[in-house]
Amino acid sequence: MSKKPKQPIRRTALGLWLKEKAPEVAQAVGDILPDAGALGVVRNLLKKASPELQAEAEAYIERAEGEAEITARWQADTKSREPLSVQVRPLIVLGSCLCFLLFAVLDGLQILVLKSAYINLLENLLLTSVGGYFVLRSADKFTQRKNAA
């Protein structure tokens, strides 16, 4: 499986924000890959900025750290030789959809009457798993295409 190359800071949401709000910082760190050290440099460069700007930047930096962590986790899962670790996310989506379908049919036929708490739980699980798997992956691909252009 091919490894996705990391994008430099200038091609991330943090980089776009820096370009608008702190162009001198964007110029200094734009070509650095967003790892913990680079994000620490960004924090240090923004220490001279206003507290409002620092708070706004911190949100972008935390988001970049979270994205790096998720990317590292996904890469570790795809590199694993264990079939379960590679397939866990698709299996969760499939299982959630099958449970929802099964309970919808059973409830529709009035074989099983579900309490509203379980319906809400199933709805949230399904929305979270499908949203996390398809929507976030689609958004990531869209962002990659937009940054590549």
Residues 30, 64: one domain?
A: yes
Range of the domain at 9: 1-79
Residues 92, 72: one domain?
A: no
Contact 75, 3 (CB under 8 A): yes
Query: Both tokens of residue 74?
Result: 């996904």
Q: Which of 9, 22, 20, 18 is nearest to 49 (CA)?
A: 22
Residues 69, 5: one domain?
A: yes
Residues 42, 66: one domain?
A: yes
Of 35, 55, 79, the residue at which a domain comes to its end is: 79
pTM over the 0.85 mark: no
CA distance 23 to 136: 29
How many domains does the structure of the chain reveal?
2
Of 49, 79, 109, the residue at which a domain comes to its end is: 79
Q: What is the pLDDT along the chain (149 residues), one digit of tens a residue?
A: 344 446 778 778 888 888 888 888 888 887 777 765 777 788 778 887 888 888 888 888 888 777 777 666 766 766 777 777 778 878 888 888 898 899 889 888 989 888 888 888 888 888 888 877 777 666 666 666 666 66
Determine the number of helices (DSSP H) and then strands (DSSP E) in the chain. Answer: 7, 0
Q: How far is CA 65 from CA 13, 22, 99, 133, 149, in A?
A: 12, 19, 34, 20, 24
Residues 70, 122: one domain?
A: no
